[in-house]
Structure 1
Amino acid sequence: MDVKDLKYYVTVVEAGSFSSASRLLHVTQPALSWSIKQLEEELGIQLLERYNHGIEMTPSGQILYEGSKEVLENFARLERSLKTETELYRREIRFGLTTLSSINYMDAFESFRKKYKQYDLIFVQRGSKEIQSMLIQGEIDMALISQPVYFPKLETNANYLKGYYYDVGVVVSHRNPLFNRTELTLEDLKDCEFSMVTKDYAVGNEIPNRCRKLGFEPNIVYQNENWEVVVEHVAAYDSVSVLPYEFSNVLKRNDIKWIKLKDHDVSRFYLQLVTTFDLNNKPEHLLYWRVYNELMAFSQNPLDHYI
């Protein structure tokens, strides 16, 4: 007696005839009749009374029917559990990160990789706004983004990570009259030429928006998606830029200075873990919170000792 025989038997009982059951099971009627006969012989009992109009269960057949239903339900549950584990095994996850997050949280993702070997994290490095667009379009699965969330569809599965943020600073050349300042406001920069990262980045969007709210249009003379090229423009042409302060530790040069930006709206950008996964789905829910919890284990912000 095996699971297939029990499935055949239950289907015959519930269909009410061998002909109906054979159509449901996609097997021939003689093969189905032979399977039930073999089951009766193996158990040494008659399971069905056969009539021209159909079949009826014997008392023993009723007992087998009820027990078989339970066995089949348990077997289906086991199959689902095994399928879940199989889906988790060596699953490829496309993960979006900004340049800064790639640098700062490398240890967290390396820890995740070693702990959960069933996942392959494939990193895609872009600006925060572009990453969000890629999530919406299904090009990546999950991302660590900076505020704000630009697409309402992403807000449901976006969670802040306590201690995860970056502060921004103003970059000026050594020839700039503002070079000796220890902090600056955006109003201090209203007569300056700006060199900025593109609008694919949160900073590239939010700094100009904040300037407009403060009553002036920033004079953006140069834009580039590469922050190192932006800094080079600042140094060469005496423009100013607003960039994550952490880059000052990565790019050390004497012809520029990083000055703290003082602004209650845009001086600090908080980070969120966001996904388009269906978190009602057990494997995706489990994966998302595994990533979240691993990041929280590294929640002491590496920028704290710079600012």
Structure 2
Amino acid sequence: MDIRALRYYVEVVDQQSFTRAATRLHVTQPTVSKMVQQLEQSFGVALLARDGKRFQVTDAGHVVLQRAREIIALHDTMKVEVRDLQQMGRGVLRMGLSPFTHTVLAPVLAAYHANHPKIELKLFEIGSNATVADLRDGGLELGTLLDFPRVADIWTEFDSLPLFESPLCLLAPAQSPWQGRAFVELRELADCDFIFYGDAFALNDLVTDACAEAGFVPRISGRSGQWDFIASLVGLGVGIALLPHMYCQTLRPEQFTIVEVRSPALIWKLVLAWRRHGQLSFAAQAWLQLARSLLQPPGSSGPGRVPGAA
């Protein structure tokens, strides 16, 4: 049984004639007769009680007729919905974004909305650790992740598109021992109070690993998932913070000490990730295409990360 057989059967009943049904369906009358017979064979019962060129719908035929109309209507609705998705006339895109990416990704989001105004963007501001979990269970299609050595093994299950990277800088009060320095070595900060990030942020792990390499465990005086609030706490003397240079550039330099950190150098490298073996929606595919065109430098090769690459 297929949808075509159901359509032929409904048309025969509506027209009360195999010949008129064939004309409306633009097929031959024997074709219509054969399809109706195949439908009867699939149910093992007569749907039409034939008397020469006339027929009556049987009790079983009425049941099949009612359900056939419902199935045909549902099938047609599905075709319209799928076509709308393909043509970006409807849909939802769920993305997990670092709260710190809004200034960079806002132009992409604006361009996407201009191109596809009927796609609903559901944006979740969460850290990398939470994003990984939500990508795995299908709660998100796309998400920004921090790429650094500790998470190297996740690239066996995710593909990614490099977005941007920025060195981490020391953010300290304006009157600090590092004011005017070109750079600071991380070990010099061993006795400082650090303001860390929310628990779901992989940036905590990046900084903790670097501190361990420098020979100390950071002493944490506070946490926040909002960089503006972290900067305010630094300005009030609650502690120091390590924040991307691209963000530090937005601050008023006379109010802070902003110095690049070295030994080891810390790089905030953000990528857009998605499940390698998942099927992306049309909405997600369109977002990736737009992000590649707007964010990747001219001449950049490849659709994203090579598995296992640094």
Q: Same fold (TM over 0.5)?
A: yes
Q: How does 1:95-244 map to 2 (within 5 A)?
A: 95-148=95-148, 150=151, 155-161=156-162, 164-237=164-237, 239-244=239-244
Amino acid at match of 1:157: F
CA distance in 2, matches of 1:229, 1:239: 12
Please name the residue that 2:84 is paired with: 86
- What SS is found at the alignment partner of 1:260? strand
The Cα shift of 1:160 comes to 2.8
Task: Give the match for residue 270 of structure 1.
Answer: 269
Deviation at 1:218, TM superposition (A): 1.4
Once the two structures are TM-superposed, the CA of residue 277 in structure 1 deviates from its matched residue by 8.1
Shift in Å at residue 84 of structure 1?
A: 2.9
State the one-letter code of the partner of 2:8: K
Indicate if the aligned counterparts of 1:113 and 1:119 stay in contact, CA closer than 8 A: yes
Q: Which amino acid aligns with 1:158?
A: D
Percentage identity across aligned positions? Answer: 13
Query: Could you tell me whether the CA contact under 8 Å between 1:169 and 1:260 is conserved in 2?
Result: yes
Question: What displacement does 1:274 show?
Answer: 1.7
TM-score for both structures, normalised by structure 1: 0.67
Q: Any conservation in 1 of the 2:146–2:203 contact (CA below 8 Å)? A: no
Contact 2:96 2:142 in 1 (8 A): yes
Structure 2 CA distance for partners of 1:34 and 1:195, relative to 1, 3 Å: farther
- What is the identity, as a one-letter code, of the residue corresponding to 2:269? Y
Residue 141 of structure 1 deviates from its aligned partner by 2.6
Q: TM-score, normalised by structure 2?
A: 0.67
What amino acid is aligned across from residue 200 of structure 1 in structure 2?
A
State the 1:258 CA deviation: 1.6
Give the equivalent residue in structure 2 for 1:68.
none
Query: Which residue type is aligned with residue 268 of structure 1?
Result: I
Deviations 1:15-59 (A, max 9, x none): 8xx4x4225xxxxx34245599779xxxxxxxxxxxxxxxxxxxx
- Offset, 1:276: 4.0
The offset of 1:240, in angstroms, is: 1.6
- Distance across 1 between alignment mates of 2:193 and 2:46: 87
Alpha-carbon spacing, 1:93–1:32, altered in 2? closer, same or farther (3 Å): farther
Residues in 1 aligned to 2:33 and 2:120: alpha-carbon distance in whole angstroms: 41
1:21 aligns to 2:37 (yes or no): no
Q: 193-202 vs 130-139, which deviates more? A: 130-139
Query: Structure 2 unaligned runs (5+)?
Result: 10-30, 56-74, 298-310
Task: Pick closer, same or farther for the CA change 1:199–1:256 going to 2, 3 Å.
Answer: same
The number of residue pairs the alignment matches comes to 250
Q: Give the Cα separation in 2 of the matches to 1:36 and 1:215.
A: 97
Counterpart pick for 1:4 among 8, 30, 42: 8
